[in-house]
Chains A and B, each alone.
Chain A
Amino acid sequence: MKVLAPLAVLVALLFAASLLIGPADLTPGQSLAALFGGGGASEAMVLVMREIRLPRALLGLLVGGALGLSGAAMQGFLRNPLAEPGLIGVTGAAALGAVLALQTGAALAFALALPLAALAGAACAVGLILLLAGPRGSTLTLILAGIAVSALAGALTALVLNLSPNPYAATEMMFWLMGSLADRSMQHVWLAAPPILLGCAALLRLGRGLDALTLGEDAAAAMGIRPTRLRITLILGTAAAVGAATAVAGAIGFVGLVVPHLLRRAVGARPSALLPASALGGAAMVLAADIAVRLIAPARDLQLGVLTSLVGAPLFLHLIWRSRRDEA
């Protein structure tokens, strides 16, 4: 618990910073007045705060929490520190589902088609990975399966976008590969928040099961943990959280890898403690990355994944290096 309180404070500060930083020159006083409907705020300021900055900050919170939490849950279940929604193709498959829903017009026909299709894509990928790599699968199998799923999902996404009648569709590949929170609206928040919250609630309840699993499958079974149920909750929870997050923010990589890895030592390597800490850590990382994107290149639509990968890739190499040393 002594990790959660500082993390929560950090997330709150970053959330406030996300609301106060943007290309329009508003003072903090003006921003808060516009957000909470106080006096002295023009109509334009109210629009900027409520329709542009608030959804962006809320999505940073939700998406980051979903990615951090699902990363921690997958790493706990697979007992493999390399399990990460982005790395093993879950976000890629969710992006494919979202792109299919958008390009076939299903998302226009009924709004929930977008998160549902992304959820279906993510569920297929998680299921496939669990089938191929399994709880006892080696790191090599996991990464190979992840590469295959990622490459396939990426190729199909590019194919669908290139076949679109809309010439701008092909340019959005970057978004589906790297993710961004620019120009999102409250509609995206309403669309993504329910599945993300449901998925996160399901994943947070896995703590006890994952704790038991660290003692081995037999011990877990003896403690009354049903492995099938644990597995299904994990698949559906991850799919809902990551699928909905990807549907509105694109595939933001490495958050699920970096955050649990950074926090593991601080919480004492217990999955039940790591889950909520990783949700907060993920939210902090995505909010910070989204603020950095706005500060570094305000007019360039720099993708979020660029920053998370800049932090994540070296850490990933470090993990590979260490696991190679351990195996030798």
Chain B
Amino acid sequence: MLALGLAPGATAMPARVVSMNLCTDQLAMLLAAPGQLVSVSFLAADPMSSAMAAEARAYRLNHGQAEEVFLMRPDLVLAGRYTARAAVDLLRRLGVKVVTVDAPATLDAVPDTVRAVGAALGRSPQAEAMATDFTARLAALRAHPAPPRRAALYGPGGFTSGSGTMADDILRAAGLTNVAAAAGLSGYAVLPLEKLVMAAPQEVIVSATYPGTSRPEEVLQHPALKALAARIGPPRQTGPGWDCGTPRVLDAIAGLEARP
């Protein structure tokens, strides 16, 4: 086995890098030298999922399949831990160097993730600068004079983010308390609509809906939720910046603080 997924030290700069995961896509786009990054995943170009959809259009898009990635002759493949496992295993057997990067689970883990991707790309100085800048801006955003407001995150199928999630961390950094975490939910979990209503949040933050219809998204139009919105104001939406722990997550926090 080549490359067991550990970030090597600042080795020689790989010339052709392919990223197969939405989150490594965005970090690679932020850190790679011009011409170094060959391809990012198709999700990176989807404005619903990616905070950098416009930038991603400059790259070839891959669909996480071993064959297409192999034919791009990469020196380095960046993947998430759960990215297309079969494809990643196959690429490794074919002798391609694959580095897997865990998406950071908290805001404080973002700088280390930035450094890990930077090291893999041979761009450690740039990564260090970005990590330092992130830490400073985060500290500035976290300073709040006002008491926290109660907010509820609510998504398709009634899913919410409880304690231990990036979304919970984002809320707290923006000076909000998460009613799901307060109700004892941890991780990505279902918050029954009844409990959401009874928790009487001062703000509801929903995820953006996709075109077309689906039953899991129908709950976002439920009359009970609309009645709640009539009292506390229309729900705000999470954006793609919430999903990956890239430095763009600071924009999401700043957006929450700038209360309409």
A52 touches B198 (CB 8 A): no
The size class of the interface chain A forms with chain B is: 35 or more
Closest-CB distance, B187 to chain A (whole angstroms)? 12
Closest-CB distance, B243 to chain A (whole angstroms)? 13
A166 touches B224 (CB 8 A): no
Write the B222-234 contact mask toward A (1 if CB under 8 angstroms, else 0). 1110011001000
User: Which B residues touch A108, using CB under 8 A?
Assistant: 213
Cα distance A108–B217 in the bound complex, in angstroms: 14
Write the A31-75 contact mask toward B (1 if CB under 8 angstroms, else 0). 000000000000111011001110000000000000000000000
A186 touches B212 (CB 8 A): no
Is A2 interfacial (CB 8 A cutoff)?
no
**Residues 27-54 of B contacting A (Cβ, < 8 Å):** none
B223 touches A185 (CB 8 A): yes
Is B182 interfacial (CB 8 A cutoff)?
no
The size class of the interface chain B forms with chain A is: 20 to 34
Is B109 interfacial (CB 8 A cutoff)?
no
Residue of B193, B211, B223, B231 near A43 (CB, 8 A) is B231
Chain B interface secondary structure, helix, strand, loop or mixed? helix
Is A172 interfacial (CB 8 A cutoff)?
yes
A185 touches B210 (CB 8 A): no
A22 touches B214 (CB 8 A): no
Is A171 interfacial (CB 8 A cutoff)?
yes
Cα distance A44–B198 in the bound complex, in angstroms: 6
Cα distance A108–B198 in the bound complex, in angstroms: 30
Write the A164-194 contact mask toward B (1 if CB under 8 angstroms, else 0). 1111110110010000001101110000000
B216 touches A172 (CB 8 A): yes
User: Which A residues touch B191, using CB under 8 A?
Assistant: 299
Residue of A51, A165, A171 near B227 (CB, 8 A) is A51
Is B195 interfacial (CB 8 A cutoff)?
yes
A23 touches B222 (CB 8 A): no
User: Which A residues touch B231, using CB under 8 A?
Assistant: 43
B210 touches A47 (CB 8 A): no
Chain A residue with the shortest CB-CB distance to B192: A23
Residue of A23, A48, A166, A185 near B214 (CB, 8 A) is A166
**Residues 214-253 of B contacting A (Cβ, < 8 Å):** 214-219, 222-224, 227-228, 231
Write the B181-210 contact mask toward A (1 if CB under 8 angstroms, else 0). 000000001111111011010000000001
Given known pairs A166-B211, A169-B214, the reply for A47 and B189 (CB within 8 Å) is no
User: Which A residues touch B213, using CB under 8 A?
Assistant: 102-103, 105, 107-108, 164, 166, 169
Is B104 interfacial (CB 8 A cutoff)?
no
Residue of A24, A167, A172 near B197 (CB, 8 A) is A24
User: Which B residues touch A218, using CB under 8 A?
Assistant: none
B190 touches A300 (CB 8 A): yes
B219 touches A183 (CB 8 A): yes
User: Which A residues touch B192, using CB under 8 A?
Assistant: 22-24, 298-299
Given known pairs A168-B210, A299-B189, the reply for A24 and B156 (CB within 8 Å) is no
User: Which B residues touch A301, using CB under 8 A?
Assistant: 157-158, 190
Closest-CB distance, B62 to chain A (whole angstroms)? 18
Among B156, B198, B200, B219, find the residue whose CB has the most chain A CB atoms closer than 10 A.
B198
Closest-CB distance, B84 to chain A (whole angstroms)? 17
Given known pairs A102-B213, A168-B156, the reply for A23 and B194 (CB within 8 Å) is yes
B217 touches A183 (CB 8 A): no
B212 touches A48 (CB 8 A): no
**Residues 100-135 of A contacting B (Cβ, < 8 Å):** 102-103, 105, 107-108
Closest-CB distance, B41 to chain A (whole angstroms)? 15
Cα distance A183–B220 in the bound complex, in angstroms: 10
**Residues 252-308 of A contacting B (Cβ, < 8 Å):** 298-301
Which residues does A use to contact B, with CB under 8 Å? 22-25, 43-45, 47-48, 51-53, 102-103, 105, 107-108, 164-169, 171-172, 175, 182-183, 185-187, 298-301
List 23 A–B pairs whose Cβ atoms lie within 8 Å, in order of A's numbering: A24-B194, A44-B197, A44-B198, A45-B198, A47-B224, A47-B228, A48-B194, A48-B197, A51-B224, A52-B222, A103-B213, A107-B213, A166-B211, A167-B210, A169-B213, A171-B214, A172-B215, A183-B158, A183-B218, A183-B219, A185-B222, A187-B223, A301-B190
Task: List the 6 closest pairs (A to B, CB-CB), nearest first.
Answer: A166-B212, A168-B214, A24-B194, A23-B192, A51-B224, A172-B215
Known pairs A23-B194, A166-B212 / 4 extra A-B pairs, C-beta < 8 Å: A24-B198, A47-B224, A47-B228, A171-B216
